[in-house]
Structure 1
Amino acid sequence: MATLSSIRSPGVYVQEVASGPRPIQGVGTAVAAFVGITADGPYDQAVKVVNWSQFTRTFGTFVDGANLPYAVHQFFDNGGGAAYVVRVGSLASDEGQRATAELTSSVRAGHAVYRVEAVDPGAGGDAITVAVEPKVEPEGGEAPPEEAFTLVVRRGDDVERYENVTSRKGAANVVTAVAESRLVRLTEVGSSPVAERLPASGEVALTGGAALPARVTPGDYLGDVTARSGIAGLDALDDVTIVCVPDLAAAYEEGQLDADGFKAVQSAMISHCEARKDRMAILDTPRGLNAQQVHEWVTEKMAFSSPFATVYWPWVSMWDTLLGRARLFPPSGALAGIWSRNDDTRGVHKAPANEVVLGALDVEQALTRKEHDDLNPAGINAIRAFPGRGIVVWGGRTLASDAQWRYVNVRRLFNYVESSILLGTQWSVFEPNDQKLWQRIERSVGAFLLGLWRDGALFGTTPTEAYYVKCDAETNPPDQVDAGYVVIEVGIAPVKPAEFVVFRISQLPTGGAVAE
């Protein structure tokens, strides 16, 4: 907009003037990050998926020995919207375990002339087929050689066709043509003077791809921020709000990790969330623990104290499509989906508890009231089966020792408010540091918090009881302004869950009830 001093000639001028506070857009609250093992896909690279089909196209489907694909499926089944997936493991651990097949000469049956090998290691190569079809006769022009054929490489909807290739040396050589393939590589491993062409038709399927890395170490999970690998690599993602490592318990059970390794990985999850202050970790426990053992595991062996971490127990029984029967799963994937569903239907201020675990058939172990009395103060959120109500999340606490950060929804509400204000006030950087700027910031933040109060996220019958925003000469003395600082104080009163609902019922004598 031109200033008045820049107007030089007579005339009528129209100027657009910004009015009212600059709106602050609320950030996303339920974008999960899953770190672990998959059947296929790139290693140590965060890939965003928004549905199960996208996941399978990049990382393959369910695979025996890996919980991450099931966790992602449970996340979407329970209302999850978007997730990042980071595949960990060493390429060297399954190098050479690529799916393979052989193309055989039609002249000397059983004599392998070409070896077909999947480009990527892993079970994803098992979905590849290679078909030999007749040559393509052109409508005009030079006819292809008699021994020419068409090679078709297919993995799902991904199809590659190499038309009119031959086994002879030259520009049309099949090995040279397939060198451009993203799916397979071709190697001539045997030949015969009379075996100059492949069969006119036929199809082979690649097999033998490695389903899982040979071994995944704590270092694979921890990763490196520079390489954007593992948990540390999540630091480059600003929209993640939930962190899960669903394969950790299985690695511990199989002996790949000891208790110290288990603790190191979960400690890294918590440290990452505490450093970012915009996300929380959902921790799993090992399978097979009873109520007393899980209490000891959480309070003594792991001994975490953080408002940015929460743990749910016991494991839940769900249907395993791969095995064709029900089996136990760690609950972190389903809980991440429940958090997302709760945010969509009620809001981040509502505790993600008293929510049904969709897809759950049973729990690993039923709880008594006395056992639950011991677990709840320790921050262990129970998953319980109630007759007529299904499998329900029956806890909403963090692992914080500080009572003001006891509840998951309180910590997540502050994460949401802080991230939204941080992103929504970037316009103020390098603005003239005067009273006008202070008032504009106050109005913007105040309008955002007013909306939260109206949505029921803040406690109080009036806005003044629910929040305050202060940005004036008191928070910005002259020496601070000269140093380039603007300080804004914000206070909010979060709503806390009604965790204990108590009815006091007394018996009155007959005819003694009196309305007051």
Structure 2
Amino acid sequence: MTSYLIPGIYREDLFPKPIPEFLTGVPAFIGFASQGTINQPERLTLWTQFSARFGEPASEGYLSDAVQGFFSNGGHIAYVIRLNDTLEIEAALEQALEALATINALDLICVPDLVRFDVETVLRMQTQLLEHCQALNDRFAILDALPTQVLVQQTRLSSSECAAFGALYFPWVQVSSRMIPPCGHIAGIYAQRDRDLGVGQTPANIRLEEVVDLSVAVSDADQARLNPLGINCLRSLPGRGIRIWGGRTLSPDANWRYINMRRLFVTLARWCDRTFADVAFEPNEFRLWVRIERELTAFCEALFRQGALQGSTPAEAFYVKCDAETNPPEVRDAGTVITEIGLAPASPAEFIVVRLIHGNAGVAFAF
């Protein structure tokens, strides 16, 4: 602290702390490791930090492979948490999720080591992950398919009320000479897509890096059966490499069918929690309503410019309403502020139809 010896007026230049950047595509990886503090999330920004904090890869685990796949596919920031291997797996997972609940900087959850267990245990734990994401409403689960039980897995998971908070990927990927679940590589694609185009874009039709093969060659007939069920296939496409060829959640509800739709609303919820944390106990009157409406409108306009919303104008893409109508006296007396937000998410173009028109002038293409 500066010492002032002479009475008078002094000027100090104070620089406010920068507001942390609002990021998406930040996963938490949960799994077994040979060292490191149990249930203590560690923030990594480089793959090389993994071994320094968690030791050599566990011989039967997939945690290190998943984290490496994340960074090799465009990921920049991840949290890694070591499971307590002295407990039953379901209890260990519950403790890890509790440790992650207060971290609002992440929005994805991956647990590659779940697939080491029997089918019933996997289904219970993956349902637990979906319930965790729904309860917090600020994260989304990337789930690995069971190699030979994916249809059973989809049936059980899609029947859950929280099915919209996760996506299932099939089959496994080969890295070097080893087959591993794909969630880490997929999470890297989510992060890359978010950074390049925004969270409203579907993380699909992107080549997976550091993958040499798939455990199953998915045919067109296979995908015609799996895609409508919400099973996102990885495909080896001639001349285009191995790519994500699906963008659906596990939900049968058409409103939440696509990953970009669910994640768009998850991101909105995260942004609101972060932006409006300081308005608690503010006077519930016109000036507060104007502030909320102004800041939400700016955020939604940014989503519109990214192409996350439908419509040719912002008015067609969204609306924000926070006024005396949404906050009548009885609402204000209860200490509540109500804002209505309507979004029109852009649906992905899953099926692009090209028509060939045969006529006297020859063949014409119509898109």
Deviation per CA, 1:192-234, whole angstroms, max 9, x where unpaired?
xxxxxxxxxxxxxxxxxxxxxxxx63234323xxxxx322322
Which of 34, 38, 43 is 1:48 aligned to? 43
CA distance in 2, matches of 1:381, 1:442: 37
CA distance in 2, matches of 1:439, 1:241: 29
- Residue of structure 1 in register with 2:168 after alignment: 311
1:67 aligns with 2:72: no
Aligned partners of 2:142 and 2:166 also within 8 Å: yes
List runs of 5+ in structure 1 lacking aligned partners: 1-23, 94-215, 224-228, 253-257, 320-325
- Residue of structure 1 in register with 2:133 after alignment: 273
- Residue of structure 2 in register with 1:297 after alignment: 153
**Structure 2 counterparts to residues 240-251 of structure 1, below 5 A:** 240-249=106-115, 251=116
Deviation per CA, 1:131-189, whole angstroms, max 9, x where unpaired?
xxxxxxxxxxxxxxxxxxxxxxxxxxxxxxxxxxxxxxxxxxxxxxxxxxxxxxxxxxx
Deviation per CA, 1:450-492, whole angstroms, max 9, x where unpaired?
2221222211111111111111111111122222222111111
1:81 aligns with 2:76: yes
Deviation per CA, 1:416-444, whole angstroms, max 9, x where unpaired?
11211221123322222222222222112
Change (3 A) 1:443 1:382: same
Deviation per CA, 1:361-394, whole angstroms, max 9, x where unpaired?
0111112212111100110000000111000000
> Which secondary structure state, in structure 2, belongs to the residue aligned with residue 307 of structure 1?
helix
1:431 aligns with 2:257: no
> Which secondary structure state, in structure 2, belongs to the residue aligned with residue 230 of structure 1?
helix
- Residue of structure 1 in register with 2:88 after alignment: 217
1:294 partner letter: V
Task: Point out the more displaced range, 295-304 or 384-393.
Answer: 295-304
CA distance in 1, matches of 2:90, 2:204: 33
- Residue of structure 1 in register with 2:249 after alignment: 398
- Residue of structure 2 in register with 1:368 after alignment: 219
Which of 95, 102, 127 is 1:236 aligned to? 102
1:263 aligns with 2:123: yes
- TM-score scaled by length of structure 1: 0.64
> Which secondary structure state, in structure 2, belongs to the residue aligned with residue 74 of structure 1?
helix
Structure 1 runs, 4 residues or longer, greater than 6 Å off = none
Aligned partners of 1:298 and 1:304 also within 8 Å: no
- TM-score scaled by length of structure 2: 0.89
Give the superposition deviation at 1:409. Answer: 0.8
Give the superposition deviation at 1:334. Answer: 0.7
Give the alignment's Cα RMSD to 1 decimal. Answer: 2.1
CA distance in 1, matches of 2:273, 2:313: 25
Change (3 A) 1:297 1:220: same
- Residue of structure 2 in register with 1:142 after alignment: none
Task: Count the aligned residue pairs.
Answer: 346
Which of 198, 209, 214 is 1:347 aligned to? 198
CA distance in 2, matches of 1:304, 1:486: 31
CA distance in 1, matches of 2:215, 2:158: 21
Aligned partners of 1:304 and 1:399 also within 8 Å: no
CA distance in 1, matches of 2:104, 2:268: 15
**Structure 2 counterparts to residues 76-115 of structure 1, below 5 A:** 76-90=71-85
**Structure 2 counterparts to residues 158-173 of structure 1, below 5 A:** none
CA distance in 1, matches of 2:238, 2:187: 24
List runs of 5+ in structure 2 lacking aligned partners: 1-18
Which of 314, 334, 337 is 1:486 aligned to? 337
CA distance in 2, matches of 1:263, 1:471: 42
Aligned partners of 2:43 and 2:77 also within 8 Å: yes
Aligned partners of 1:442 and 1:471 also within 8 Å: yes
Give the superposition deviation at 1:63. Answer: 3.2
Aligned partners of 1:380 and 1:397 also within 8 Å: yes
Aligned partners of 1:318 and 1:362 also within 8 Å: yes
Give the superposition deviation at 1:396. Answer: 0.4
CA distance in 1, matches of 2:34, 2:42: 14
Give the superposition deviation at 1:411. Answer: 0.7
Aligned partners of 1:218 and 1:264 also within 8 Å: no
CA distance in 2, matches of 1:303, 1:487: 32
Aligned partners of 2:157 and 2:250 also within 8 Å: no
> Which secondary structure state, in structure 2, belongs to the residue aligned with residue 52 of structure 1?
coil
- Residue of structure 2 in register with 1:416 after alignment: 267
Which of 27, 34, 38 is 2:29 aligned to? 34
Aligned partners of 1:35 and 1:86 also within 8 Å: yes
1:434 partner letter: E
